[in-house]
Amino acid sequence: MTPAASALGWIGRQSSPLFFVAVFAGVLLPPLARLLQPLLLPAILLPFVVALVRLDLAALGRQARRPWLALGLVLWSLVGCPFLVALVLQSLPLDPDIAALLVTTAACAPLMASGALALLLGLDVALALLVVVPATALVPFTVPPLALGLAGIAIDLPAAALALRLALMVLGSAALAALVRRWLGPERLVTARPGLDGLAVLGFVVFAVGVMDGFTMTALARPALVGGIVVAVFALNLGLQAITVLALLPFLPLRTALTAGLVAGNNNLGLILAAVIDTAPPAMLIFVATAQFPIYLLPIVQRPLYRRWLASEPPA
C-alpha cells in the first residue's frame, strides 16, 4: 500500500472527528475558509463520484426493479416536506425570513453527497442515489413555484440552463466513476475501498471549511441571528429525518427507513444559492453556511447508533 493510500485510508476511518474539526476550522480560521472557497464545486462532486464508484450494482438493480419506493421518496422530498414544514411553521413565532428559508430548504433536493453519507453510515447507497439523481434533475422546475407559493421567496432560476448544468455534473460524475471502476477492476476495487472512503471524507472536509467563508464575521456582528438559525436548521434536519423514519418503519426494514430519513433531512440549498448568488436574500448566504452544522455533526452521533441498530441486519 502506498503512503498516499495509507493516508486516505486513515482519513476514511477518522470521518467523525474530521467532520467535527472541519466545521469549526472554517469558523475559527477565516483565511483558510477563504482559501478553500474556490474548491467548493469539486468538493461537492468528489463524494458523489466516490459513492458511484463504490456502488453495489446488484443492489442498484434490485432497487431499480421496485422504482415506486425511490419515486415516492423523490415526491416526498420535493413536495411533501416543504408542505409539512410550511404547515408546522404557521403556528411558530419565527422570523419570516428564516421561516421562508426553512421552507425553501425543505423543497430542495437531497445533498448530492447523500450517497457518500449513506456509505459512511452503513445505509442503502443505491436507494440514496436513486432518490438524489432524479430529485436534483427536477429542482429547477419544482423549487421556484414552491418557494414562491409556500414561502413568498421569488427565485428566478434559469430552469433549462440549470437543468443542463446539473445533467452535465451528474453525467460527468457517472462517466468518471465508470472509468475509475474499469481501471481498478473488481479485485482492486475491494482493496481500494478504504482509500475511496478517505477521498469522500476529504471532499466533505474541504467543502465544510470553504463554505464558512464570511460566516465568522456575520456571527460576531449578529450572534442572535446566527444562533436562531443554528437552532432552526438542526430542528429542520432532525425533524424531517425523524418523521420520515417513523412513518416508514412499520412498512420497511430499518436500514431502508433510515436511508429515507437521511435523504429527506439533508437538503441541498447550496445548489440554489449557487444559481441565484447575485439576487439571493442576504440571509440565504449565512443560512447555507449554518445549515452545514447538522449535516456534519449529526452523523458523528448517528454512525455509532446506526452501527449498533443495524448489526443484526444484512448489508444493503
In a domain, 235, yes or no: yes
Grid coordinates in use for 31? 483565511
Please give the residue range of the domain that contains residue 256: 37-210+221-307
pLDDT per residue of the chain (316 residues) written in tens, 0 to 9:
577 778 888 888 887 888 888 888 988 888 998 898 888 888 888 888 888 888 777 777 777 777 889 899 999 999 999 999 999 988 888 888 888 889 888 998 898 888 888 988 999 988 998 898 888 888 878 877 887 777 676 666 666 776 777 778 778 888 998 899 888 888 888 888 888 888 888 888 888 888 888 788 888 888 888 888 899 999 999 999 999 999 999 999 999 999 999 999 999 877 666 655 555 666 677 888 888 899 999 999 999 999 999 887 665 5
Work out how many domains the chain is built from and give that number: 1
In a domain, 1, yes or no: no
Question: What CATH number has the domain bearing residue 233?
Answer: 1.20.1530.20
In a domain, 12, yes or no: no
In a domain, 232, yes or no: yes
This prediction has a pTM of 0.84
Grid coordinates in use for 301? 452521533
pLDDT of the residue at 281:
61
In a domain, 237, yes or no: yes
In a domain, 24, yes or no: no
CA 76, 80, 82, 88 torsion-angle sign: negative
